[in-house]
Amino acid sequence: MKKTNPNPNANRNILRLAYVVSGVFVCMLLYLGYFLQFESGGVINNAYNPRVDLLSERVVRGEIQSSDGQILARTVTSEDGTERREYPFGSLYAHVVGYTGKGRTGLESLNNFYLLTSHVNLAEQVFNQFSGIKNLGDNVVTTLDSNLQQTAYDLLGDRRGAVVAMEPDTGKILAMVSKPDYDPNTIAEDWERLTADEEGEARLLNRATQGLYAPGSTFKILTLLEYLREHPDDWEEFHFDCDGLYENGEYTIQCYHGEAHGSQDLMQAFANSCNGAFAQIGLELDKGKFRTLTEEMLYNQELPLSLSYSRSSFSMTEDGDTWEILQTAIGQGKTQVTPIHQLLITAAIANGGTLMKPYFVDHVENAGGQEVKKFMPSSWGKLISAEEAASLTQFMSRVVTEGTGSALRTDAYTAAGKTGSAEFETGRETHAWFTGFAPAEAPQIAVTVIVEEGGSGGKAAAPIARGIFDAYFSE
């Protein structure tokens, strides 16, 4: 074969390309290394990863603890090596902590991977692996406050409903109760009875996040906000004469128990929850803008929530008829909301308009108590402006000082909120709502309460919020 005049540059160019290729490969391997070291933990904690369950063959599932160190769930290994998941508080944390065994729910499901990952020191892990001993999984320390949880649980008593409490400036969930409940310790034995649900109790349903209810008068917060947006300068001139029954053509709207509120300005109408006044406001509003506002407030939207939840719905469009407007403006009609969603709106108002993402886990620590991973508060974004939040806070304070929220009047702190009594079926008691926060001037805790068929929000729901605030501020 003849030796043609080889391009003198050829070898240099070959080497150049070889260097480039090597460089690209180094980048790719660094990327892989970065993934393995820093990202893999977050990635594999995913419901679609079937491998997590394999970990339970090597690791004893860790504990779930309250923020004050109470054990909410732990795995007990008996002498013959069989493992049993134990929930020392029984049904107290049933919905939020969830269960494992018959599938997984709640925090047991969300933190499956952390609970099944062990960060005991490497030497011990290797030693355990060789001797066939299971490593102890990491413990998940939640944001739940055992005192508040117990208070909420006791105050709700044997009524159906839900209570949720959260820190508005961080998003930490402090308490979450749903009733009726179940005992996660005996979930396997009770499974058939719970799923058959012959009494229609839906005990497995977490009403706090999955229960959909008409918002009732708590919805007037949004109606009010839209009215303030459309009348930034002349809302103080609003006036309404209430005789207990508002008539518009063939339609009538009644105030709660037909009470006549008399002459009302906007602040009074909100504090007294005057249906007539708000029905009339509804007729004046721009329906398109109103719908936009509700969607900005996360109706018909996804919530920043890791637990499974139902989506709230607001269905009135630009061509809603008079009856639909009258109903929607006072929170009746087709509008549906979950307690957690109410809480998020309330917390955003309490936090100057910024919604903090709700979260349940403060940190993960290894079996020896050393912190492995810390979760920090993070903002979802602004729901409303700071001015609007301040203004709504004023209105909601009046509800407590002069209106339907009288149950929260105390010298110990100043609360703000809104009651609601949502009709859901003619002839049955209304669902009682309260959503609010305290202290009004520098909010530290926000609470939403619903008592199914509890009657008036002020009488049935507000006292529960009062009890939680009392417990929180006496700590």
Partner 1 sequence: MTTLILEGSKYLMIFLMIYYAYLNFRFFGEKYDFRKLKLCRKQNGAMFLIHFLGFLSLYLSRGEEKILVFYGAQVLFFAFYLGLSRVFYRNISRLLLNNVCLLLSVGFLMLARLDMEKAVRQFVIAAAAAVISWIIPFIIDRVWQLSRIPWIYGGAGLALLLTVCVAGVTSYGAKMTLELGGISLQPTEFVKISYVFFVATMFYRSTDFRSVAVTTAMAAAHVLVLVLSKDLGNGLIFFLTYLFMLFVATGKWLYLTAGLGAGCLASAGAYALFPHVQTRVAAWLDPWSDVANKGYQIAQSLFAMGTGGWMGMGLDQGLPGKIPVVEKDFMISAIGEELGGLFAICLILICLGCFLQFMMIATRMQAMFYKLIAFGLGCEYIIQVFLTVGGAVKFIPLTGMTLPLVSYGGSSMVGTFILFSVIQGLYILKRNEEEDDEENESQS
Residues that bind partner 1 (CB under 8 A): 1-4, 6-7, 9-11, 13-15, 17-18, 21-22, 24-25, 27-29, 31-33, 35-37, 39-41, 43-44, 46, 48-52, 54-55, 126, 129-130, 132
Within a 13 Å sphere around the CA of 130, how many CA atoms are in the beta-carbon half? 5
Binder of residue 261, out of partner 1, Zn ion, none (CB less than 5 to 8 A by kind): Zn ion
Tell me which residue has tokens 């979760």.
375
User: 125 or 315: whose CB is closer to partner 1?
Assistant: 125
User: 3 or 257: whose CB is closer to partner 1?
Assistant: 3
Query: In angstroms, rounded to a whole number, what is the distance separating the alpha carbons of residues 201 and 160?
Result: 9
SS3 assignment, position 14: helix
Among residues 211, 276, 282, 352, which is the contact residue for Zn ion, using CB under 5 A?
276
242 is an interface residue for Zn ion by CB under 5 A:
yes
Rounded to the nearest angstrom, the gap between the alpha carbon of residue 223 and the centroid of all alpha carbons in its chain is: 22
Query: In angstroms, rounded to a whole number, what is the distance separating the alpha carbons of residues 72 and 227?
Result: 45
Q: How far is the CB of 295 from partner 1 (least distance, A)?
A: 20
| Lookup: tokens for 394 | 């004023």
Binder of residue 34, out of Zn ion, partner 1, none (CB less than 5 to 8 A by kind): none
Q: How far is the CB of 450 from partner 1 (least distance, A)?
A: 32
Binder of residue 369, out of Zn ion, partner 1, none (CB less than 5 to 8 A by kind): none
Binder of residue 11, out of partner 1, Zn ion, none (CB less than 5 to 8 A by kind): partner 1
282 is an interface residue for Zn ion by CB under 5 A:
no
Query: In angstroms, rounded to a whole number, what is the distance separating the alpha carbons of residues 429 and 441?
Result: 34
Query: In angstroms, rounded to a whole number, what is the distance separating the alpha carbons of residues 465 and 215?
Result: 17
Q: How far is the CB of 235 from Zn ion (least distance, A)?
A: 18
Q: How far is the CB of 260 from Zn ion (least distance, A)?
A: 7
Q: How far is the CB of 312 from partner 1 (least distance, A)?
A: 22
Amino acid present at 286: D
Please say whether the beta carbons of 305 and 298 come within 8 A.
Answer: no
User: 274 or 337: whose CB is closer to Zn ion?
Assistant: 274
| Lookup: tokens for 248 | 């518009």
Within a 13 Å sphere around the CA of 280, how many CA atoms are in the beta-carbon half? 19
Query: In angstroms, rounded to a whole number, what is the distance separating the alpha carbons of residues 236 and 405?
Result: 22
- Angle among Cα 117, 89, 169 to the nearest 5 degrees reads 70
Q: How far is the CB of 113 from partner 1 (least distance, A)?
A: 9
Q: How far is the CB of 138 from partner 1 (least distance, A)?
A: 15
Binder of residue 255, out of partner 1, Zn ion, none (CB less than 5 to 8 A by kind): Zn ion
Burial 372-400, CB ≥16 within 10 A → b, else e: beeeeeeebebbbeeebbebbbebbbbbb
Site for Zn ion in 253-272 (CB under 5 A): 255, 261
Please report, as ranges, the residues that interact with Zn ion according to CB under 5 A: 242, 255, 261, 274, 276
